């Protein structure tokens, strides 16, 4: 199934927004590609207050997001970028399930949107195609989601 390129041409400007980007240290080249495209789209659309946080792994994302919300109640959104590769054990399922559950809980309790663009993949080729330097890079989709939800929330 072919993926569609996300249209970034008509995004709202969200000047003054504060966004934190959490990244995992695993598969650094791929995660940095996601991060760079995400930050680029955020900046183009008015988000100049972007803080970057590199963490030991994706499992630490819910904890870090919770701490960021507690320390900065004015934060507008958090974007989580990482790669989790399926191996021969249940480790993959445990990590992905707990991170998704944890981020949802933190988002609801902290009342801050958390964009989850952690790539759960069964081989590195899948991650490489989703982190390539093209319009299909999932970092772009993460930035678009953050921009749109911040704009939506400001409109309430």
CA distances from 35 to 5, 21, 53, 76, 133 (A): 17, 8, 10, 17, 11
Cα–Cα distances in angstroms (integers) from residue 56 to residues 14, 53, 102, in the given order: 30, 10, 16
Asked if 13 and 112 count as a contact pair (C-beta separation under 8 A), the reply is no
State whether residue 8 is helix, strand or coil: coil
Q: Please tell me which residue in 13, 70, 91, 154 is annotated as part of the active site.
A: 91
53 a catalytic residue: no
CA-to-CA distance for 85 and 104, rounded, in angstroms?
Answer: 21
- Distance of alpha carbon 95 from alpha carbon 57, whole angstroms: 10
Tokens of 123: 């081989």
Task: Point out which residues pair with 19 in neighbouring strands.
Answer: 50, 77
DSSP three-state, residue 14: coil
DSSP 60: G
Task: Give the residue numbers annotated as catalytic, written as ranges.
Answer: 91
């Amino acid at each position: 199934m072919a993926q569609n390129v996300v249209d970034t041409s008509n995004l709202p400007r969200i000047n003054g927004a504060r966004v934190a980007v959490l990244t995992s240290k695993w598969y650094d080249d791929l995660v940095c590609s996601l991060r760079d495209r995400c930050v680029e789209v955020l900046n183009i659309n008015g988000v100049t207050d972007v803080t970057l946080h590199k963490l030991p792994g994706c499992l630490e994302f819910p904890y870090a997001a919770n701490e960021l919300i507690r320390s900065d109640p004015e934060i507008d959104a958090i974007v989580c970028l990482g790669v989790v590769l399926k191996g021969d054990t249940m480790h993959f399922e445990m990590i992905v399930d707990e991170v998704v559950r944890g981020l949802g809980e933190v988002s609801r309790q902290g009342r801050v949107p958390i964009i989850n663009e952690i790539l759960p993949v069964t081989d590195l080729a899948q991650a490489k195609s989703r982190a390539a330097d093209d319009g299909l890079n999932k970092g772009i989709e993460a930035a678009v989601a953050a921009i749109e939800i911040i704009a939506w929330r400001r409109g309430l």
